[in-house]
Structures are given as structure tokens and as C-alpha cells.
Structure 1
Amino acid sequence: MGTSKAGLKGLATFNVTLLALAFGARESTGLIMPLLLVGDVVAVIYYHRHTQWKYLLKFLPWMVSGILIGVFIGKDLPEKQFKLGMVIVIFISLATLIWWDRRKSTSIPTHWAFAGPIGIVAGICTMIGNLAGAFTNIFFLAMRLPKNEFVGTAAWLYLITNTFKLPFHIFVWKTISVETLLIDLKLLPALALGLLSGIFILKKINERNYKRFILIVTAIGAVAILFK
């Protein structure tokens, strides 16, 4: 999770998969939230100078709308259907990322019809399974953001949206408790190590290999959850 927040964004799906396998689909979405926020703050501090606000502000309102939809979709969804939904989202994400990677067009989509649907789906997916990563990746890749601008803009996007989600996890879904916070405290040292490692590794990866890395780890996450 730390390396993911430090810039290796494709690992986000793998993180969610591991926690879902260990704690259950819905429960894991709340447990992960405080850790995500710590990672978001560190990422913003380190990469904020690279943030491209015009792209963030174009995407953010749509994603917030999707989060509100996701709150009601996921609140009473049975565990089996919840987990199935996570698996479907992962595979759709993988297919979409591969499709986008193979596109040869260099144009940048500017119409709201591109940002709108992707943003809403990203919002729903981040609420029901913390799985917005693939969809936000698609949007930022479509904007042709270089590696550091990609990471800096995504850092602010996730800090804002994860902060917005926090009250829903506490008061509506009730997936954050004293017990989950104690587990998070035990994981903080490993999170810190991951953040430091991710910052170092990101500097060593070129632009093309960075995109390939996103595709590979998304595929690993999709396969792993099927063994639950």
C-alpha cells in the first residue's frame, strides 16, 4: 500500500485484493481507509508541486457523485454479491486498461462525456471496494500526463475523495471501529517502509515501463481474489 501511494499506482488493486481475502470484502473497505489517508497525505506532501489542477477539477465532481451513489448501492449488499462486484470491477478495469494501452491516438479527450462516465464509475468503485484506481488511471493516461504529474494529480484526488468517504464508513456502513484502528496502527511501520521504497523505485522506472507495470499488477490482483 505504501509503494502504491508513493507512485506505483497499479498496486492499489492488489492491496484491495489482499485485504479482502484477509478480512472480507466490505470490512476491508473500512479498515483500509485510515491507512489510505496517511499514504495520501505523504504523497501530497512529496508530489504536490507536480499537481495539474485543471485535470483534477474536471474529474473530481463526477467522482464525488459516484461516491454518493456507491454509498447506497453498497450499504445493504450481501457479502457474496459485494465480493462478486469487486471481482467484476477488477476484470473490467483490466480490460479497459489494456484497451487504452493499445490505442495509438495521441489526442486528448476534452468533452464532459469522457470525464463524466469514468468519474462516476470511479466514484462508485472507490466506495464499494476502493477500486477506483484503474478508472482514474485511464483518465490521467488519456490526459497524457507524464509520470510525476500523473502521481501528483492523483495524490490530491485521492486525498480529497478518501476524506469525503470517511464519514460514510464511520456512520453509515460502520466499517471503521476501535478494533480496525488498532489493526491499522500495527500496519503503520510497514506502510512507512512502503512509502519510502515506492519513492525510490518510481525514480528508476521510465514512462513506458510505468504503464506496463500498472497493467501487470492489475492482472495479478484480479486473479488473486478468485482463490477466496
Structure 2
Amino acid sequence: MASFVHMISSFVNPLQTDWNTWFITALCALITGLSKSGLKGFAMINIPILAILYGGMSSVGILLPFLIFGDAFALIYYRRNAQWSHIKRLFPWTMVGLVIAMLIGKYINDQQFRTSIAVSILVCLAIIVYRDISGQKTALTNNKWFTHSLGFSGGFATMIGNAAGPIFNLYLMSMRLPKNVFIGTGAYFYLILNTIKLPIHFFYWQSISTSTLQLNFVMLPILLAGAFAGKKIVQYIPEKAYRIFVIGVIALSAIVLLLK
């Protein structure tokens, strides 16, 4: 009997962490599902939580497959709402940032990076809020500096710490996209980037192992439960309230990055 219990425990908890860590990780999986299916930006709180539990590099490897699962689920419902023109405009600069981050990621000072990203997010967010209040209608994405800088910093952030969510959400939100277009476009964009990152983390950074992948698949039902719940919740949120919610979550995420 004891050997059977040990076998089950080894399967469910392949990293052999304490059960408090396991349950908190399961909560992060649930939050990822909620975020990817509509409550955009909510999963940013997972970044500091997992970093505390597993350390910086390892936490990135644990979170990445969760994000891919969530992106794939979101596309089931929102793929027809995606607008590829927004993805094509941002993607080249994103890849530049991603490649640079891949090359220097093992040597960068994590705290300095997170502080600079957080400050950039708050500055851009302040610009968008000001434009909303003042009633300006011209899209910020008409400015090349805005698109290029967000693309580059987003690619860099997504490679270093899966922290690009607020940056890309900021880009999409600046165009005042309808709720479903916002979710569908973001889901395609994130899935492409996260899939590109997967072999880099597995073979080059070695932050993903067969054991961490096993943990991801064990917690997949929990993530899917969050995704189903998130899809139901977002249906009842009006467009204006949804925009306010996303702004609030992005601001909170930036503050968390500053304080981490």
C-alpha cells in the first residue's frame, strides 16, 4: 500500500515539492486559464509567485507550458476574431527582442530588467489613460516609435520572464479593439511566441525538463477548468468595464514587477 501511495505521489508531484508548493502551483494553473480565456493580464501575478517558489529561471520553464495550453484553449473560441494585420505589424520587432534576450538571458540582472519593463509599462499606460480622458481618437499605433518599442520590449520580456503580457495588451488596447478581437488577436500572438520559446527553454536554457512537463500535464485539467470559467465570466463584462479591468490589471502587474 505504501509503495502504491508513493507511486501516485511521484506521478502527481514529479518535482517532489512540499504540498503547499504544489497547491499554490495548481492555483497558478487555474489563474492562467482564467486569464487566457478572457480575463487578460490576470496571470501576471503568477510570475512573482512562481519565482518565489522555484527560483527565476525554473519558474519561467514551469509557467511557459501553462501559457501555451491557455493560448490553445483561447483560440478554440476566439480564433475567428483575430486580426492578423496587428500581429504582422508587431512581430518583426518582437523577434528582434526575443533573439537578443535569448543570447544574453543567462547574464542579465533580473531585477534591473523588471524595473525598466515596469516603468515602461506605467509610462505607456499613463499615455493611454490620458488619451482616453482627453478624448483623443488617433491610434497610438500610427506612431512607429510606439509600435517598434513595444514590439522590441515585448519580445525581450517574453523570453526573459514570460512578462510580455502587459506590453502586448497595451499595444492591442491602444487601438480600442472590441473585447473578442482583443482576446483572439492576443491568443494567436502569444501562442506563436510561446511555441517558438519552448525549444529554447528545453534545449538551450534547460529550464524545462521532462519532470516539469509532467507537472504541467498533471495540472492541465485545473487550467482547463479556469479557462471554461474565464470564458463564462467575460461574457457578462461590458466593453467599457472590460477595458477598465484590463487597465487595472496591467497597472497592478507593473507594480508587482517593481516590488518583486
Q: Distance in 2 between matches of 1:117 and 1:91?
A: 13
* Deviation (angstroms), 1:123: 0.2
1:93 equivalent to 2:121? Answer yes
Cα gap change, 1:215 to 1:18, in 2 (>3 Å): farther
Q: Distance in 2 between matches of 1:66 and 1:224?
A: 22
Q: 1:43 — aligned with what?
A: 74
- Structure 1 unaligned blocks of 5 or more: none
Whose Rg is larger?
2
Contact 2:166–2:253 under 8 Å retained in 1: no
Q: Distance in 2 between matches of 1:75 and 1:110?
A: 35
Spell out, residue by residue over 1:42-101, the C-alpha distance to the aligned partner (whole angstroms, 9 max, x if none).
Answer: 111210010111111111121112111111221233xxx324423442343234223312
Q: Distance in 2 between matches of 1:191 and 1:51?
A: 22
* Deviation (angstroms), 1:26: 1.7
Q: 1:189 — aligned with what?
A: 221
Q: 1:117 — aligned with what?
A: 149
Contact 1:140–1:150 under 8 Å retained in 2: yes
Q: Distance in 2 between matches of 1:87 and 1:119?
A: 18
* Deviation (angstroms), 1:117: 1.5
TM-align CA RMSD: 2.0
Q: Secondary structure at the match of 1:144?
A: coil
Q: Distance in 1 between matches of 2:168 and 2:59?
A: 21
Q: Distance in 2 between matches of 1:41 and 1:33?
A: 13
Spell out, residue by residue over 1:146-198, the C-alpha distance to the aligned partner (whole angstroms, 9 max, x if none).
Answer: 11101110010011111111111111111000221122123212211110011
1:198 equivalent to 2:230? Answer yes
1:153 equivalent to 2:181? Answer no
Q: Secondary structure at the match of 2:182?
A: helix
Which deviates the most, 160-169 or 182-191? 182-191
* Deviation (angstroms), 1:7: 1.7
Q: 2:8 — aligned with what?
A: none
* Deviation (angstroms), 1:208: 1.8
Q: Distance in 1 between matches of 2:253 and 2:52?
A: 11
**What is the correspondence of 1:19-34 to structure 2 with a 5 Å cutoff?**
19-34=50-65
Q: 2:167 — aligned with what?
A: 135
Q: 1:210 — aligned with what?
A: 242
Q: 1:14 — aligned with what?
A: 45
Cα gap change, 1:91 to 1:11, in 2 (>3 Å): farther
Which deviates the most, 36-45 or 216-225? 216-225
Given the two structures, how large is their TM-score scaled by the length of structure 2? 0.79
Contact 1:70–1:128 under 8 Å retained in 2: yes
- Structure 2 unaligned blocks of 5 or more: 1-31
* Deviation (angstroms), 1:126: 0.5
Structure with larger RCO (C-alpha < 8 A, sep 6+): 1
Residue of structure 2 aligned with 1:3, choices 34, 42, 50 = 34
Q: Distance in 2 between matches of 1:196 and 1:181?
A: 22
Q: Distance in 1 between matches of 2:90 and 2:234?
A: 24
Cα gap change, 1:141 to 1:173, in 2 (>3 Å): same
Opposite residue 101 of structure 2, the aligned amino acid is G
